[in-house]
Amino acid sequence: MQTGEVKIRVRYAETDRMGLLHHANYLVYFEQARTELLRDAGKTYKDLEDAGFFLVVAKLEVRYRLPAHYDDVLTIRTTVTRASPVRLEHRYEVVRDGAVICEATSTLACVGRDGRLQALPDWLSGSE
């Protein structure tokens, strides 16, 4: 299982009127964490897309435990928990000061330029 971490500081524009990280921005953070995990493996989303492979979110579940605030430094831990011929599953933990404040899972499906399901490249599905 591939695991990685990325640190993100909550920006003012990402908060609501109460100064809390808006719930939708966690999804942006998860995407950034997946992007960096792929980069750590020596590839980029641009590489995938240029080769005709597109990863779309098919399922996403989030559990918010504690709020994040403006200027908090968060660590997003991302793990690939399963790779099938056409799907990737990830687990996320959002950590602040050693405490897990949010947990999530996602399933990404691989599609071609036509939007139809297709097999992941071998190097990404673990078939290689």
pLDDT of residue 80: 96
User: Could you list the pLDDT tens digit for every one of the 128 residues in the chain?
Assistant: 699 999 999 999 999 999 999 999 999 999 999 999 999 989 999 999 999 999 999 999 999 999 999 999 999 999 999 999 999 999 999 999 999 999 999 999 999 999 999 999 988 876 54
Instruction: Give the E-state strand segments of 13-117 in sequence order.
Output: 54-64, 73-83, 87-96, 99-111
The answer to whether 74 and 10 are in contact (CB under 8 A) is: yes
- pLDDT confidence of residue 5: 97
Rounded to whole angstroms, how far apart are CA atoms 17 and 8? Answer: 20
Q: In order of start, what are the domains of the chain with their CATH numbers?
A: 3-125 (3.10.129.10)
CA angle centred on 96, ends 77 and 5, rounded to 5°: 20
Q: Is 16 among the residues known to form the active site?
A: yes
Give the C-alpha separation, 78 to 91, whole Å. 6
**Candidate list 16, 47, 71, 122, residue with the active-site label:** 16
Which pTM was predicted?
Answer: 0.92
